[in-house]
Structure formats: C-alpha cells, structure tokens
Amino acid sequence: MSKRVTWLLVIMMGIAVIGLTAVQYYWIKESYQLKEKQFEQLVFQSLRNVSYNIEKKRMVESLKNQKKALHNSNTVIDQFFNNSFIFQDTSSNPLSNWTRSFNNQINDQMRLFQDMFNVFNPAYTIKPKELDTILKKELEVSGIKTKFRYALAKNNRIVYTSDKNAITDLALSQFKTPLLSKGSDGTILIMDFPSQKSFIIRQMSIMLFSSFILLSFIVFCFAYAINVIFKQKQLAEMKSDFINNMTHELKTPIATISLASEALGEDEVSKNANQRTRFLNVIQQENHRLKNQVDKVLQFAKLDKEDVILQKSEIDLNVILDNVILSMKVLCDEKNAKIIPALNAKNTCVIADSIHIENIFRNIIDNSLKYSKTEPEIFISTKNIPNGIEVTFEDNGIGISKKDQEKIFEKFFRVHTGNVHDVKGFGLGLSYVQKIMQMHKGNIQIKSTLDEGSTFTLFLPFSNKQKMTA
C-alpha cells in the first residue's frame, strides 16, 4: 500500500467518523430541544390547571357566602352544592364517560354563573401551604418530578416566594399565569425550575448512554484500524529493507566464491600452490559466512514460530564471555577495537542454553563494532544481584535516539546510521537477543545517548535450586 493511498484511507475514515459524530450531535440536540418544548408545554398546562383549581375553590367560597347572605334556599345554588362531587380529585380514579360528560355540563353551568358570583365575591387569599400542595400534585400528574420554586407577584412586585435566594431567577422566568380570573386582585403565579436541564438530560439518559457507547466503540475501532494500517505499512517497509539487505548479504559471498572458483580454473593459479591455497581459503571463509547468514535467518524463523527448544545445562557466564571475546579478537583487530572485561561476579553459573547465550553476546558486541565512528571501546562487566547475574555491555558508539530505543527490539528494524552507510545486517539481531532472554526468564534493558554510546544490561536469573543455596 503506497503512502498516498494510506493517507487517503485515513482521511476518508476520519471524515466518516467526524460526519457520524456531527449527525449524532445534531439528533441529540434536536431531541433535547423537543424535550425542552414538551417540558414547557407540560409546565404551562400544569399552571393552567392550578389556576383553574384555585378558581373553583374561590367560586365555592363565593357560593357559600351568597347562600348565607340570602338567608334562604336557592334552587340553582342548592343544585350546585348537591353536585359538589365535581370538585373531588379525579386524577387517580378516572371517571366513566357518562360521569365525565355530566361533570363537564356542571362546569359549563359554573362558568355561566361566574359573573353573578363575582358580584358577591369577597377577597380570596390562598394559603402558601395549600398552593404548594396543589403545585406538587399537578406537576406530579404531568410527570415533572424535579425541584421547583415559585412566587406570587402583584403590581409587578413579588409579595411571596418559596425561596428568597431565587427572586432574581423567578423574576426572569417564563412560567407565569394569573392565579385568579375576573374579580381577582391581579395576583400572578411565577414558577422556576433550577434543575430543568438536568431533568431533561435524565429523561434522555438511555439515548445519551447508548449514543456514547456506540460512538466510543466506533472511535475505538477507527483508532485501532489506523494503528493497524500504520503498523502494517511500517512492517512492509521493514520487510522490504530486510529483503534488500538479505539479497546484498547473500550476493556478496556468492560473487566472491564464483570469482575464486574461476581463478582456480586458470592454469597459472592451479600450478601455484600458494595462490591455490589462498583462493581455497577465500572460498571456505565465504562459504562459512554464507552459511552463517542463512542459519541466522532460519534460526529467527524458528524463534518466530516458537519451534526452538532450548538445550539447557549449567554454564559459567564468565567462561562463555571469555570464549566470545577470544573468538572475536580477529574482527576487533581489523577495526582497532578494544574490549575491556571486568567480570566481577562471584556466583557465575546459571541454567541456560550455551549456544544461544554465546550468540546473543556476539550479537551485542558485533553491533557495538558496527555502529561506531571512532575506534570502538567496549566495556563488559558482570556482577551478582539478588536472584541472578547482570551482564553489562557499554560502548562508545554513535548511540541510539529515544525514538529508536522504543523500536530496536522489533524484528527487521534497523537504526539510521547518519553518514555511516556501510553497516550491513538484517535487523534481526536485537530482536533475537530479546526473544532468547525472554525464553530464559531474563530481560534486556538499554540506556543510550546520541553520539556518546549505548549500554545494554542483560539479566539472567538463577534456578530455584540456586536461589535456595545462595
């Protein structure tokens, strides 16, 4: 996948996620506004019901006063009181159709006689406790179960409030209604809901929660897909580099062997014993080098498939290090390198695979020799720590940036060498080291500074038997 296609795919997925988020936000906003309008309608309906109920109570009081003033029986008034059940609470016990029709008829009669009753109507004052009960009841019937505050205003001045600290909010509230109709003293009922927004949001909680879960899942999948795409792209690039490096590494010894073989076929060389021996040695060395390169790739392939079985035995790490240093003396002499050992560990025996342990030591030393601008100096030390041995390799090489330190143990990854372009390898060495250390229940750590050098610290644990005797 090309870089342009990768970024195009990322941009398209990003636009899709942003678009989906925008649509989700729009519908949530629309739902909130709809719920807000429903809330306002229910509040205004409740206020009208409160005003109507108080009006009925006022008219009942007016009728009683009229009856007392007339000192005699009035057919219409008696009929009105005989049907006083119309003032009973019917919110919890729904009326039958016939009863409801009769109730409506009586209420119509009540409105017809309202003007007459207003003539005899004395001043009517509702008690705050009674008003509070009516408000709670009406709001509960409407399904508005949230905290509320209210006030009574007359002549644009608040004369009573349920919360003295909310006078400013109540004065600005949109929820207002006349408390009484004709013949009243102009009292206005004002209501305010301090938790209106949170109440509406609670009503939308299921929708909000499900939207949040789905959107989070989509964003997670998007982020995961982007991460996979870039990792696959990076892996493809590293594999491409690996193939190029491997081709170069294999072609060089093959070409050398081919040239040496052709030279041996010449009469002049075949008759000269010294030249013949020299070319045979070249073929042998290059063949050994070719075999090592192939073995390295095959060995890592086995490690990757977890097909490697360790042949563990008791080994002495100081002895292993001495052998590795001795075997790399020729290579060190070619690069004018110095290896300075300080093998101070007293208890140096561990249960491990000697071949793999030697290989990881060689890999680390080989890297120190490769990545150096000056004459390499490698300090190798061992020391005992609780439960195991610590082996440290410190060099004066080009160092590794913090960004690259996070990736050096990934397979196929190779550190950029700046102006040094002749460094060969497959990018498998440190990945191999880490895998072998993990298989031995150990670990490897790195500390490095650019242009100053690197320090690799390996820890190999004692076996349980060794821990008991330590």
Return the domain boundaries, the chain.
3-203, 231-304, 313-469
Q: What is the pLDDT of residue 168?
A: 87
H and E: helices and strands count for the chain: 16, 11
* Whole-number Å distance between alpha carbons of 315 and 354: 7
What pLDDT score was predicted for residue 468? 45
- Rounded to an integer, what is the distance from CA 357 to the centroid of its chain? 40
CATH T-level fold of 231-304: Helix Hairpins (1.10.287)
Measure the CA–CA gap between 392 and 257, rounded to whole angstroms.
Answer: 38
Name the one residue in this structure whose structure tokens are 């009229």: 66
How far out from the chain centre does Cα 368 lie?
39
Residue 4 φ/ψ, nearest 5 degrees: -65, -45
Instruction: For residue range 418-431, list pLDDT tens digits in order.
Output: 444 455 555 677 88
Q: pLDDT of 116-163, one tens digit each? A: 444 444 455 677 888 888 899 999 998 998 999 999 888 888 888 888
Torsions phi, psi of 86, nearest 5? -70, -15
Q: How many CA atoms lie within 13 A of 356 on its CB side?
A: 23
Q: Tally the C-alpha atoms within 13 A of residue 428's C-alpha that lie toward its C-beta.
A: 21
Which of 197, 191, 154 is closest to 170 using CA atoms?
A: 191
What is residue 352's predicted lDDT score, i.e. its pLDDT?
92
Indicate whether this model's pTM tops 0.75: no
Q: Which residues of the chain have pLDDT under 50?
A: 73, 81, 83-95, 112, 115-122, 183, 418-421, 468
pLDDT on residue 97: 55
How does strand 313-316 pair with strand 175-178? unpaired
The pLDDT, as a whole number, for residue 96 is 52
Q: What is the pLDDT of residue 149?
A: 92
- Distance in angstroms (rounded) separating the CA atoms of residues 380 and 344: 10
CA angle 411, 414, 416 (to 5 degrees): 160
- CA gyration radius, the chain: 46
SS3 411: coil
At 151, list the tokens.
């006030």
CATH of domain 313-469: 3.30.565.10
What is the pLDDT at residue 120?
44
